[in-house]
Structure formats: C-alpha cells, structure tokens
C-alpha cells in the first residue's frame, strides 16, 4: 500500500507552488451517513481548462461537485482553490471565493420569474444596478431568457430551465463553474447548443468542471477527463486520447 502512495508525494509538493493549478482535491473522502461515497479522490484543474468527470451512475461524480461547492462535508482529505484551503467551507463562502455550481435537475424556483431567479443568484451584488447589469450579461448569452423575462420559471421548457440554472450560477461571475449534467433531458439540438455555450464561456476565461452522462459530448468540449468507478478515480487522460480508447470506456462506462 505504501509503495503505491509514495509517488504521489512529489506531485502534491509541486502543486503547492504551481500557479497554473486552480483547483486541487487531495485524498478526498465523503460519506452519506455510514455509506462511503468517495474513497480518496485526487484530481486537479488548471486555469482555463474544461475538465470532464465521467463514469457510470452512482460513481461519485456529482458528490465530488457538491463537496467542492460546500454542500457536502468531506470526512477526510483536502480541497484547495487558488492554493488556499477551502475544505469544509460553507457554500456561501465558496461562492465568494469564485466558484459557482449549476446543479443536476436545475432546481430553479418554479413560482418565481426568470428575472427573480437570476436576481437570487446575484445575492453577492451590492446594488440593484449591479444585479441588473449582470442580468443583462446573462440575457446577452441566453436571448431566450430575455424573451421570458417575466415568465414563471416553472412554465419554461427543460432547455430554458437549464439555461436559467446556468445563468443563475453565472450571476456570481465565477472563475470556476461546476456543471452537473447540463444536457440532462434535453433534445439533441438543445444539448448541442448547451455544449457550444460551454465552449463560449470557457473561451471567455471561465474554467469549467463538467459532469455529463453523454461521454462523447463531454469529451468533445473537455481538454482532460477523469474516469470514476465506485467512488474512485481510476484513470485520467486527455479527452482526445480517451475517445480513442474504447476498451477503457467499455470497461468503466459500459459504452
């Protein structure tokens, strides 16, 4: 066991002095009650990357995002962001550090309007004028939301609700955006639009960690990917190389 762990030590020491690493997870363990969900996850995300987390349902991908964003507390290990320790930090403070999450299944407030949902995402803003300015940026990226400015979120289509969830996350102007299943329940055409949007915001300087069941869509926008199996990272590859490794995809994803 010790022989397996020893090679990681120099990597971790180097990461402490590497300004290119935005986010790092070190030996992360997370449990739901007595049930262990993550078993020593190690990964890193560099500034400006899109990194995909892929694997079968229940492998621990969404748990990883929820732990980074402060919704779950790790039982062991570290989360470092911009070289600083944020392990166990409350979710509101994580947002203040520059991290935002668009959750699986959107979780918009159905009885509130599109504008009100977005304004809730801008709770760090110091004035209504600042909120309106950021809402304008979201509307520029998602013109369909502008058309439905006063419409109740619960009456939107699935694709529009996904736009709203991502727009709400962008209201905090994050440096790191965590996207959990952005194409879930979307038509192929709408999913294509969603991944084009991921490329666009990444090109404008937002680093992205993406959880996505559609492996080929995920790898088409990512530079690197981590493969999960039962709460562990079992492989890390550049995205293009992983697409060319059908045996690995079949072994861990059933693809």
Q: Is the pLDDT of residue 250 over 80?
A: no
Q: Is the pLDDT of residue 85 over 60?
A: yes
Question: How far does CA 50 lie from the centroid of its chain?
Answer: 9
Cβ-contact 222, 52 below 8 angstroms: yes
Q: Is the pLDDT of residue 3 over 70?
A: no
Q: Tell me: the pLDDT tens digits for 157-186?
A: 888 998 999 999 999 999 999 999 988 878
Q: Is the pLDDT of residue 13 over 70?
A: no
| Residues contacting residue 35 through CB under 8 Å, at least 6 positions apart | none
* Number of neighbours of residue 161 by Cβ within 10 angstroms: 22
Q: Tell me: the pLDDT tens digits for 86-105?
A: 999 999 999 999 999 998 87
Cα–Cα distance, 49 to 147 (Å, whole number): 32
Helix H, strand E, coil C: the string for 218-234 is HHHHCCEEEEEECCEEE
Cβ-contact 210, 221 below 8 angstroms: yes
Cα–Cα distance, 29 to 26 (Å, whole number): 9
Question: Mean pLDDT over all residues of the chain?
Answer: 88
Q: How far is CA 28 from CA 153, 166, 219, in A?
A: 36, 26, 24
Q: How far is CA 44 from CA 133, 149, 165, 196, in A?
A: 33, 38, 25, 24
Tokens 């899109």 belong to 50
CATH of 47-71+92-253, one of 3.30.365.10, 3.40.50.970, 3.30.565.10, 3.40.50.300: 3.40.50.300
Across 117-145, average pLDDT = 94
Question: How far does CA 154 lie from the centroid of its chain?
Answer: 23
pLDDT at site 112: 96
């Amino acid at each position: 066991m010790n022989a397996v762990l020893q090679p990681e030590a120099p990597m971790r020491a180097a990461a402490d002095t590497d300004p290119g690493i935005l986010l790092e997870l070190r030996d992360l363990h997370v449990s739901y009650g007595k049930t262990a969900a993550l078993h020593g996850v190690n990964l890193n995300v560099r500034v400006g990357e899109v990194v995909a987390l892929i694997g079968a349902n229940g492998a621990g991908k969404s748990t990883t995002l929820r732990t980074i964003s402060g919704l779950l507390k790790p039982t062991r290990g570290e989360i470092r962001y911009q070289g600083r320790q944020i392990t166990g930090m409350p979710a509101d403070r994580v947002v203040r550090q520059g991290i935002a999450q668009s959750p699986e299944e959107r979780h918009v407030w159905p009885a509130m309007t599109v504008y009100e949902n977005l304004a809730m995402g801008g709770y760090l803003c110091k004035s209504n004028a600042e909120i309106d300015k950021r809402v304008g940026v979201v509307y520029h990226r998602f013109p369909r939301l502008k058309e439905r400015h006063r419409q109740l979120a619960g009456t939107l289509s699935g694709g529009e609700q996904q736009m709203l969830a991502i727009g709400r996350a962008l209201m905090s102007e994050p440096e790191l955006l965590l996207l959990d299943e952005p194409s879930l329940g979307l038509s192929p055409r709408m999913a294509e639009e969603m991944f084009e949007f991921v490329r666009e915001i990444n090109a404008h300087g937002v680093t992205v960690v993406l959880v996505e069941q559609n492996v080929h869509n995920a790898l088409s926008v990512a530079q690197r990917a981590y493969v999960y199996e039962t709460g562990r990272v079992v492989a890390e590859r550049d995205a293009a190389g992983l697409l060319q490794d059908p045996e690995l995809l079949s072994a861990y994803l059933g693809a």
